[in-house]
Structure 1
Amino acid sequence: MHETRAILRRRIDAFVARNFRLAGTLRLHGAALGWDLLRAPANVALAPIFLLTLLMAGLLRLIGLRRGARWLGARRILFTTSVSRAVGERIEADLLGGVKLGPHSRQLIADYTAIRSAVAEITTSLVVLATGAALFGVATPGVASLAPNVSGYVVHASAVANFPLGTRIGEVWYGVFPVTQPGWIVLVTALGLAMAASVVTTFAGILADPVQAWLGIHRRRLERLLARIADVEGRSSGLAPEHVLARLADLTDAGLGLLRLFRP
């Protein structure tokens, strides 16, 4: 039994090295060049509904309504991206030996790829957070909190550049009397940043995969997936912490964005 586990771990490690190290994930994300540029932002918008579905399924399971929990947990809320489909196909072919899978096993693989999508969102939040800290010295975990800072900088720079008495006096003037930015400018800026963030999310795995491979996260996640597929009792994946973290980042971002937008 120990030898079997060792062999399985070597197979998983080899799979991770082929697919989630830098060269492997670059090849994998080649599939994202296309409709994934639309599917990824759509999945970001649908993610709160997906999380609510998982929470409701967990509640039904807790009170003993297992049939309803299975039905709700099997609902396809998110679009299947080309990258997710490629990962699922490689798991079936390489780790599972191409065996015929039932609906439950396929659902477990879909749950696994959904966790990858949540990690991509978290990675995007970290990128935006680092951008806000580097450029503005403030915490910006998402587009809603970053947009007022970006639009404020643009409005201020434009006002200084067009000040009648020159830019130096303009800097002093607007340092004392800050420029008021219209709400529509913040909205337009937020839309532009959201489009940029959707592209980052589509390819965020290029950053996240090698880090997770190095930390052993990919191996542990795949070990859990294979254990659940082999479980004769058909255990569900349940609510992964990655989904909760992604939504917490959204809530924090929305709260900070509103505070900075309406702060006197």
Structure 2
Amino acid sequence: MSPRAEQHLLDAIDRGIAQYFAQRRDAIPLFVCQHFRYPGAWSTNRRALGWDLLRAPLNLLWAPFYLLSQLLAWLLHQAGLNSVARLLRKMPSGLQTQVQAYLMAQTQRQLLGLGDGASPLRDAIAQTIVADENLGRLSTEQEQHLHKALVDALSQYALTRTATADIGNTLVATIAGAFTLQKFTPGGLAIGAVLAGVVANRLAVADFFLGPWLGSWYYALFPAEPETALLVLSTASVMALFAVFACFSGLISDPLQALLGIHQRRLEKMLYSLERDMRSRTTGGFRPKDAYLARIMDIVDAARMGLR
């Protein structure tokens, strides 16, 4: 094949890729409606019942370490230590929950049209090229690259659910602290510490040697410091409660994100990243910012504890 003919074929393949992803983007509104609005949101999130009650809190604990490893991988890549960076990039993002597995499978099968022997990418390319002996080889190569890029993109998409649950926990802690404790409590650590302080104060007031009435005045001026055991118990209880909430936070956050267009924009970004990866023959272009926002909130929470 002459260079000109080969370039013509490659241009046609690029048009086929563009056509395929344009069709996939058109399917986003229906996909969001079916899986993230009611009654679909219940069908999606009811899968959290079971072992996800254990997996979700473990993922929340693991997420900061995973994010740190990916930041370190980026720094090592910039420094030219590519072999170590590649090893860090292979670090798992956490335990896959049933909700994540379901959404990844539905994204691959329903949104991207893959699975069950379907080859929508090849079909899209075939519409732009009339029979060509190199079509099969090139389109198969493109599909293999799509699969590689897809595995990376779907793992990042699944990670956004952990980050969203973490952000939801932080918002709940902040709101609960503001309305019930009149304190700024931007996370489980902070609200656990505040609750421990409240309990310690109540116990100290009740045991005050001049009586509880004078005790309430005294400890209003000089708050009692909670013991370490009480602080640990209070924080652990709050974190356990938030872990259960994290499993089912999608029942609230998914319809809200669908209403605000967050789910739509996230999926559009994933598809644009996949398309860009296909054209540039790279992978890993989809890196949502949810995890970084969640970690910033963790830093604020830890700083709040440090100031105490």
Q: TM-score interval w.r.t. the shorter chain?
A: 0.7 to 0.9
1:49-128 alignment runs, 5 A limit: 49-63=65-79, 69-99=85-115, 102-128=147-173
**Shift of residue 235 of structure 1?**
3.5
Residues 96 and 255 of structure 1, relative CA distance in 2, 3 Å threshold:
same
Secondary structure of 1:80's aligned partner: coil
Residues 202 and 237 of structure 1, relative CA distance in 2, 3 Å threshold:
farther
Which has the larger displacement, 179-188 or 53-62? 53-62
**Shift of residue 150 of structure 1?**
0.7
Name the aligned partner's letter for residue 298 of structure 2.
Answer: D
CA RMSD of aligned residues (A): 2.7
Select which of 137, 148, 152 maps to 2:193. 148
| 1:79-105, Cα deviation, whole Å (9 max, x unpaired) | 111110011011012111134773431
Number of residue pairs aligned between Structure 1 and Structure 2: 260
TM-score (norm 2): 0.75
C-alpha contact (below 8 Å) 1:49/1:77 kept by paired residues: no
**Shift of residue 191 of structure 1?**
0.8
Please list every run of 5 or more consecutive structure 2 residues that lacks an aligned counterpart in the other structure: 1-14, 118-145
- Quick one: distance in 2 between partners of 1:16 and 1:163? 58
Secondary structure of 1:102's aligned partner: helix
| 1:104-156, Cα deviation, whole Å (9 max, x unpaired) | 31121011110221111011101101111111222111122112211122222
- Quick one: distance in 2 between partners of 1:172 and 1:75? 54
Name the aligned partner's letter for residue 44 of structure 1.
Answer: L
Name the aligned partner's letter for residue 220 of structure 2.
Answer: G
**Shift of residue 248 of structure 1?**
1.1
- Other-structure match for 1:236: 284
C-alpha contact (below 8 Å) 1:54/1:238 kept by paired residues: no
C-alpha contact (below 8 Å) 2:153/2:286 kept by paired residues: no
**Shift of residue 172 of structure 1?**
3.4
**Shift of residue 36 of structure 1?**
0.9
1:194-209 alignment runs, 5 A limit: 194-209=239-254
Please list every run of 5 or more consecutive structure 1 residues that lacks an aligned counterpart in the other structure: none
C-alpha contact (below 8 Å) 1:51/1:243 kept by paired residues: yes
- Quick one: distance in 2 between partners of 1:26 and 1:222? 20
C-alpha contact (below 8 Å) 2:152/2:283 kept by paired residues: no
| 1:198-229, Cα deviation, whole Å (9 max, x unpaired) | 11122222222112111211111111222333
- Quick one: distance in 1 between partners of 2:286 and 2:24? 24
Name the aligned partner's letter for residue 217 of structure 2.
Answer: V
Select which of 30, 35, 50 maps to 2:51. 35
Identity of aligned residues (%): 33
Secondary structure of 1:149's aligned partner: helix
TM-score (norm 1): 0.86
Larger Rg: 2
